[in-house]
Structure 1
Amino acid sequence: MVDEALTAGAAARRLGVAVTTLRTWHQRYGLGPSQHSPGQHRRYTAEDMDRLEVMRRLTARGVTPAEAASWARQGVVPMDAAARSAQNRAAPSAPDRAAPSAQGHAVPSAPDRAAPSAQGHAVPSAQGHAAPSAPDRTVPSAQGRAVPTGAVPTDAQAPRRGGGPTVANARAGPAARGVARAAARLDAASVRDLLEANVADHGVVATWHEVIVPVLVGIGERYAATQRFIEVEHVVSRCVTEVLGAVPRPSPGAPARILLAAADEEQHTLPLEALAAALAEQGVPCRSLGARVPQRALDEAVARTGPTAVVLWSQQRQTAAPGQLRGLLDAPHRPLLVAAAGPGWDRAAMPEGVPVLDSLPEAVAAVTAAADPARHRIDLRWC
């Protein structure tokens, strides 16, 4: 609640929107300041701010401004399901559409190379393949790693005049735009709420490709253009980890036949967290060893738990050591599936019998099959 009436500038700062946005909401939808004293500008009362907060929350979820304003004038927030329903109506529904990049462009697939996001995580395309990097056309990301610039118009990287910081443009999906707006305000609660709603409605894989990936790419590209948004990147990454970790896991008594790990010295694990959450949705329990797993620790974990599938993630070339994979193949009780994932792996250096999983859906399918090959009736000899 607001204790005293606010100027337009103060109200905009409180809400995390631009003053021009408040003016638009006032002129188009009647959501303006109501307190007026002779000789002074109108000011926003507590009741005005309550209505504007409803407007902000619903537009962040992809609800059209006109519909959000209708709810705001009533002074109530519709049920989450209603808001998500409006978001779904606004989003394209074709199941095989290309997932937009941060600037709305379809991301081309390239099975053996990936452009890292601002955190250095691999950014898959609509099909889940890694997007190609362009060694001669890159700029540093927020962590000093490279992100491609070729598909992004220069003017799209600049802040909108009067519109404040943004990390996704209007051609991104409504859910991604909502997360991007909340992230730019450092509104972690709203970022989590939006991601949780999207996971509940569409699942982990769709949320990863259509929401998380475009936002991470957008943050990296905005950093490249402005040298800003490191704090935004940290908020989003933390929220993504929390939301993926909150996806319900199978019961504790279920045997975990899957082992996920990052290669020795590899610090980036967000894609592995997405895989673990996607497997959980399928009822497949797994163990995740996290970042920087040395060879000896990985070998001991395999010997101790006897997994049927091991997925080793490498984001960067310098962390992709084929020797770790060979060690798994030479284990006394070799896992049924030993797979590499991530853009760091060199296909030409892969030990025989080790596939490179190019996409999140492909990884889910292969790992699920390895967890219960009799049920899935899939021949894993190609692995």
Structure 2
Amino acid sequence: MDAHEEPGTGAGMTTGMLARRLGISPTTLRSWDRRYGLGPATRVEGRHRRWTAEDVAMVREMCRLTAEGLPPAEAARAAKAQAGRTGAGHSPAAGAPPAGPPRPRPLATVGEPFSLVDAAPADVPPVADSRRLCRGLAQAAVRMDAEAVQEQITATVDAYGLMAAWEEVLVPTLRYVGRRWESSDDRYVEVEHLLSWHISTVLRHTYARATAQSGAAGTRQVLLACLPGELHTLPLEVLTAVLAERGLRVLMLGGSVPVEALEATVRRVAPAAVALWSQSRSTANLPLARHLAAIRWGIHGARTRSHVLLCGPGWGLRSDPELLRPFGLGDAVRITVSAGRPGDDASTAREEPAPESV
């Protein structure tokens, strides 16, 4: 019998246990139950609620769909349909056909901008004939020509640098493929996945090469992580690679990092800066960001803390005096590099965006 199960009930995970496992708050689970009927199918009178494996699978699907940008109500309907439930009573619909898997959404159409960038920074030279490069890369991806895709991405990065290649070629191509996917009944899902995988491959190679050549040993690290439920890592991967090229030590945790893991890492490594990525509003967690920014360490009288950056469109235009809100890849790089230099105040490095770039 599972360690979380109660004898004779067949249902064993408490709301708190489930919240910790999924990296969300118990309040969110109760709200989803109250608003959308996403609670345990079986309830025991006078006892704490217990979540079965089927209940957990349904809530996990809800987390996945909201992380991809679906509105909560729509995501709840899809999650309940997949679990065979309808309405608040969770009873299967009479005569209803079995629900298929929910339709995925392309990365490049989730949220406002797909990337950290709204406009190219002034210090990034324009890519000559970027439209031709985008068209060639998109055509290679549609042909499923993996060798050509890899060769073109690598050549563009080598010729123009990572930031310019990302902003003027890679992101526009991802957006183009995403629009084709949205308008073609999922015919191009494999194209977007192929393109994303090869972009990620080049970014990680760039990071590894920059790290091998860096002399940043001994400096404080920069921590990058996606919030719980957030699976879109490409924008943080490009920030990781660019920061490594700038000589910073970078600790990249990847997608959907649980709350406890984020807090434990901040306390363990005492990073100079923490960049938190949120692609959609459903994953933006301002209380968590404030909590991480409040963690202090060091000797009494000289205690310090991490600069916390709210990266990605999921944060909207939120501002907080204790947090930093970069509005572009160049802005995020400037803030983070400044935070990594002893004695610098990262808050003074942020440049306010022009009104049209917000």
Amino acid at match of 1:299: E
1:181: Cα distance to partner? 1.3
1:292: Cα distance to partner? 0.8
Amino acid at match of 1:254: A
Structure 1: runs of 5 or more not aligned? 1-114, 129-170
Q: Is the 8 A contact 1:318 1:344 kept in 2?
A: yes
Q: Is the 8 A contact 2:221 2:272 kept in 1?
A: yes
C-alpha separation in 2, matches of 1:203 and 1:194: 13
C-alpha separation in 2, matches of 1:118 and 1:262: 18
C-alpha separation in 2, matches of 1:381 and 1:195: 35
Q: 1:268 aligns with which of 225, 232, 242?
A: 232
Q: 2:138 aligns with which of 180, 200, 204?
A: 180
Look up the SS of the partner of 1:355 in the other structure: coil
Question: Are residues 1:282 and 2:241 paired?
Answer: no
Q: 1:230 aligns with which of 189, 210, 215?
A: 189
C-alpha separation in 2, matches of 1:260 and 1:335: 16
The aligned counterpart of 2:164 is: 206
Q: 1:353 aligns with which of 322, 326, 346?
A: 322
Question: Are residues 1:296 and 2:296 paired?
Answer: no
Q: Return closer, same or farther for 1:311/1:280 CA change in 2, 3 Å cut-off.
A: same
Amino acid at match of 1:335: R
1:297: Cα distance to partner? 0.7
C-alpha separation in 1, matches of 2:280 and 2:161: 28
Q: How does 1:294-373 map to 2 (within 5 A)?
A: 294-333=258-297, 334-348=304-318, 350-373=319-342
Residue-pair matches, total: 224
Q: TM-score, normalised by structure 1?
A: 0.54
1:200: Cα distance to partner? 1.2
1:265: Cα distance to partner? 1.1
Q: Is the 8 A contact 2:222 2:271 kept in 1?
A: yes
C-alpha separation in 2, matches of 1:345 and 1:287: 22
C-alpha separation in 1, matches of 2:164 and 2:261: 33
- Using CA pairs below 8 Å that are at least 6 residues apart, which structure has the higher relative contact order? 2
C-alpha separation in 2, matches of 1:126 and 1:382: 18
Q: 2:120 aligns with which of 124, 127, 130?
A: 127
1:208: Cα distance to partner? 0.7
Q: Is the 8 A contact 2:137 2:173 kept in 1?
A: yes
The aligned counterpart of 1:250 is: 211
1:382: Cα distance to partner? 7.3
1:332: Cα distance to partner? 2.3
Q: How does 1:130-149 map to 2 (within 5 A)?
A: none
1:373: Cα distance to partner? 4.4
The aligned counterpart of 1:35 is: none
C-alpha separation in 2, matches of 1:126 and 1:116: 19
Q: TM-score, normalised by structure 2?
A: 0.58
Deviates more, 1:117-126 or 1:277-286: 117-126
C-alpha separation in 2, matches of 1:126 and 1:272: 17
Q: Return closer, same or farther for 1:117/1:326 CA change in 2, 3 Å cut-off.
A: same
1:327: Cα distance to partner? 1.2
Q: Return closer, same or farther for 1:212/1:119 CA change in 2, 3 Å cut-off.
A: farther
1:278: Cα distance to partner? 0.9
The aligned counterpart of 1:380 is: 347
Q: Is the 8 A contact 1:118 1:233 kept in 2?
A: no
Look up the SS of the partner of 1:347 in the other structure: coil
C-alpha separation in 1, matches of 2:107 and 2:134: 18
Q: 2:179 aligns with which of 202, 221, 234?
A: 221
1:212: Cα distance to partner? 0.8
1:379: Cα distance to partner? 5.7
1:336: Cα distance to partner? 4.0
Cα-to-partner distance string for 1:14-43 (whole Å, 9 max, x where unaligned)? xxxxxxxxxxxxxxxxxxxxxxxxxxxxxx
C-alpha separation in 1, matches of 2:175 and 2:286: 28
The aligned counterpart of 2:69 is: none
Look up the SS of the partner of 2:251 in the other structure: strand
The aligned counterpart of 1:55 is: none
C-alpha separation in 2, matches of 1:229 and 1:335: 45
